[in-house]
Chains A and B, each alone.
Chain A
Amino acid sequence: MPNDQPIPIRELPIPALVQKADRAIAEASQIILGKEVQIRLSLACLISGGHLLIEDIPGVGKTTLAQTLARLLGLSYQRIQFTSDLLPADIIGASIYERQSDGFRFHPGPIFAQLVLADEVNRATPKAQSALLEAMEERQVTVDGVTRPLPQPFFVIATQNPTHQVGTFPLPESQLDRFLMRIDLGYPGEQAERDLLRGRNRRELLHALQAALNAQELLALRAAAFKLHVSDALLDYLQAVVRYTREAPRFETGLSPRAAIALKHAAQAWALLMGHTGVVPEDLQAVLQGVVGHRLRLKATHESSSSATLTGELLEAVPIP
């Protein structure tokens, strides 16, 4: 079936998968309390094939979210703790001499997993960061002249502390761009925090968690998401948003075409998770903050405002055509 044909999702086995995804989200919400939207966003990000950056202060559950997702999605999982003395070889692996075979053998690094958690990515030096980011972009690594593909699917969930904290190397804009979404978790709500304090140890819960989906199903969901109908009306809206960022005087740089494509894919994945048969403006609005927040920069002359209020203003400024 050609790509541009609208696919009524009800006629495919996709609804069952969407239900499973819903269940996964519900289960994850049992562990990370009161953060359902962020969990759903993360899942949408992974479904649309993008990498995820979680930025927040330590202790609000960034790592737990990444681990939960890895478990629920049934992916092979590796964690790399980024430190200032981390070397690229620690990420992608190295060829090591073996006496028995009298030759070099490649020892794959932790990057060779379907889901890689790059914890505190901004604490490593730019050298190590770029090793990771290159692998993210190319979905393969080259060591000693041999190119090795990374497993399919391949996701990176990176966490980082706010850049003003001590001992961080902020990611440059060009590398931030490689992340489809950046989300922050924020403090839990009053009730959620109470439940957190009363409830069981998170680590135990995590270990008890069963995979709700597998890699194959995740890829099927991605295919379904990319076939989801995107109407001209929605593209008009998307372009209006993008145009606004380029024309409004308060932004240093507008959104790139790559950002526009990212926005479309993320909105499709979100619409799929919401059970919509086509992408509606609300889907776009839901993912806008995640996709756009780390790509927009205010002009230096304007008063600083958080990326969330910035996206909020952007949303309100652009009418839905």
Chain B
Amino acid sequence: MNAVRAADFDARLEQTRLLWTLAAMLVMVLPHALHLAPWIIFAAVLVALWRLAAAYRGWPLFNRFTRIGFGLLAFLGVFATYHTLNGPEAGTALLILLAALKLMEARGLRDYFLALVIALFIGIANFLYDQSIPLAIYMIPAVWLAITALLNVAHPDASRTALTSLKTTGRMLLPALPIALVLFLLFPRIPGPLWGVALPQDSAITGLSTQMSPDTISRLAQSDAIAFQVKFLSPAPPRARLYWRAMVLHDYAHGIWSMGNALWPNNETLATHGAPVRYEMTLEPNNLRVLYALDLPVRAPKNTYLTADYELVTQHPVTEHKLYAVTSYTDYSYGADTPSWILRRDLRLPQGDDPRARRLARQWRATAGSPEQVVQDALRMFHDQPFVYTLQPGVLTGPNRIDEFLFDTRRGFCEHYASAFVFLMRAAGIPAHVVIGYQGGSVNPLDGYYIVRQDDAHAWAEVWFTGRGWVRVDPTAAVDPARVEEGLAAALPAGEVPGYFFRSHPWLGNMRNLWDAVNNGWNQWVLAYGPELQKRFFAHVGLDYGNWLQLALVLLVLIGGILVLVWLVLLWRHRVPPPVAAVRDYRRFCRKLAKCGLTRQPHEGPLDYAKRVIRSRPDLAEPVHAITSLYVELRYTGMGSTREFNRLVQAFRPQQ
């Protein structure tokens, strides 16, 4: 009889543990469903359901050999799907499958504990794929639930509801928050992306690439994803000067512009005018080895270098948010002393194609007195002839794309104009190349940051003049000045404007501003917090970066301080309640008598005390009796008047 009941009890215990563990697993695995192969999630859910049935229907568990077989199958399946057992994706897939298999044999405290620890690890793995605010917000209750599961697995208690156990763990987790914050800020940061794991580098990132084909930029114009955000430390330049330089494209073949190979070290002369512009950039991951900067950066930030084309090149592709400070001059010319053998690179054209364009260029060259005049001729053509700035230029496929564009369709986006312009210049014997990057940006009124989105992507040209060097020329501005001065939306025909929805609903636009500001803060203060920012933070609070002994001491003191604080709070919460009014007054009465040499013993009851007092001081009999009987009534019978008692004690003045 007893044995049956005990077994019943054990089964219920097991069910409670299983349910909590499954719940924790579910919330931790759920975000992985977005990027893992569906069969993995499906298999895990199947195992979980089977385990539930085993717990509630009493199905037998599998024996050891079957379980080993399942384990091998999991390895094989993951290998077949990802062709590796290594790397974040195969790793998480394997982790999830093995966690499910662990549940298959779970029996007793130890197994569930292990399963929960794996669940927590699966939860952390979510951040390998996504470090955005929504996931972070999702993970807070998820971790809370997992910890609650841990509590209920370790100390199952039928009388405790889910809500009370959540409250308990909430109270337990709360003191961990400041410690987590201290560790986040102070614990030495490892350079490079999170845990040095390379993210799957697929086309998921929208942005510039190292090449420009006729639809590269116009495709980007469909995206309102943020490319980077800028905080100007000196006055912001006017919008028409906000050219954000990314890459210089030298080589042209079959309609495609590319960077070419050589990256010359930068030792060129630079002529600048006006005040420097200082600013901080928060770059979204672009998967390129290039940082963007306002045209033209003069000094490279740490761990990057400037090429001869004034590109900021990094050692590794930017795969996480990057925060860096740059100084630029918006009024410049550079490379006046570039030797002609280098310039020859920017004169090369593929043989034979586009005869009409070549002819036009040669004609300009013949009539114009100077290269500057040729540039003016070209820009005038773009301005005077009926060229249309549009996102839907139509597809040009023939070998003579430039000719087609210049003389037939005359419809194009900035890449078409930049491409055709540079072609014409080269044909006229003037060195020229294409620069791609972004132009413009909008201020978020909430935090003053400039936000540059993918639809601000732009392509323009640089032309070399003897004596002056490289000078920026934007043919798009000649076609449609509004693009440069007011942005894409103003320049395009009404029906083509992307992001139409946000623009037509002002409150939605405000919401987007708010979201951008929040995201920006998150990027700047959380995701971009690497060794550099940490060093800056240390300098700000007066710590010595690199002095690990000092850091260890500071960590010890801070965490110790937090623990002491928590302890004090607990002490205060469990303090003895202050005495009620009657007790206070009675203690006063006792003190008055103590002055007469009649100290009450701590264990002496009020009646006994009164008796003793009256015995040695019969003169006080009347007031002592009155006070004592009223006190006893107040304190032990729940009757009597506190005010009357207070009055009696006030009036009590025994002669010493």
Contact = CB atoms under 8 A, between A and B. Distances in A.
Given A278-B632, A280-B607, A280-B632, A319 B602 contact: yes
Interface in B535-573: none
A320 B602 contact: yes
Interface in A229-259: 229, 231, 233-234
B636 A280 contact: yes
A281 B601 CA distance: 13
A234 B604 CA distance: 13
A319 B603 CA distance: 4
Contacts of B235: none
**Main DSSP-derived SS at the B contact region:** helix
A233 B636 contact: yes
Nearest to A315: B603
Interface string A270-290: 000000111111100100000
A130 B429 CA distance: 123
A270 to B, nearest CB: 12
A6 B606 contact: no
B603 A318 contact: yes
Contacts of B583: 233
Interface in A128-151: none
A233 B605 contact: no
Residue among A285, A315, A320 with the highest chain B CB neighbour number at 10 A: A320
Contact of A281 (B605, B633, B638): B605
A233 B633 contact: no
A277 B602 contact: no
A316 interface: yes
B603 A317 contact: yes
Considering residues A8, A278, A315, A317, which has the most beta carbons from chain B within 10 angstroms of its beta carbon? A278
A282 B583 CA distance: 17
Contacts of B602: 319-320
Interface in A300-321: 315-320
B603 A279 contact: no
Nearest to B579: A321
Nearest to B631: A280
A234 B605 contact: no
A11 to B, nearest CB: 12
A279 B606 CA distance: 12
B615 interface: no
B603 A316 contact: yes
Interface string B601-622: 1111111100000000000000
Interface string A28-72: 000000000000000000000000000000000000000000000
A8 B633 CA distance: 11
B636 A279 contact: yes
A229 B635 CA distance: 11
B397 to A, nearest CB: 92
Given A229-B638, A231-B638, A278 B603 contact: no
The 5 closest A-B pairs by CB, nearest first: A278-B637, A319-B602, A281-B605, A282-B605, A278-B636
20 contacts: A6-B638, A229-B638, A231-B635, A231-B637, A233-B583, A277-B639, A278-B633, A280-B605, A280-B606, A280-B607, A280-B632, A280-B636, A281-B605, A281-B606, A281-B636, A282-B606, A315-B603, A319-B602, A319-B603, A320-B605
Given A276-B637, A281-B636, 15 more contacts: A6-B639, A231-B636, A231-B638, A233-B635, A278-B637, A280-B605, A280-B636, A282-B606, A282-B608, A285-B603, A316-B603, A318-B603, A319-B602, A319-B603, A320-B603
Interface of B: 583, 601-608, 632-633, 635-639
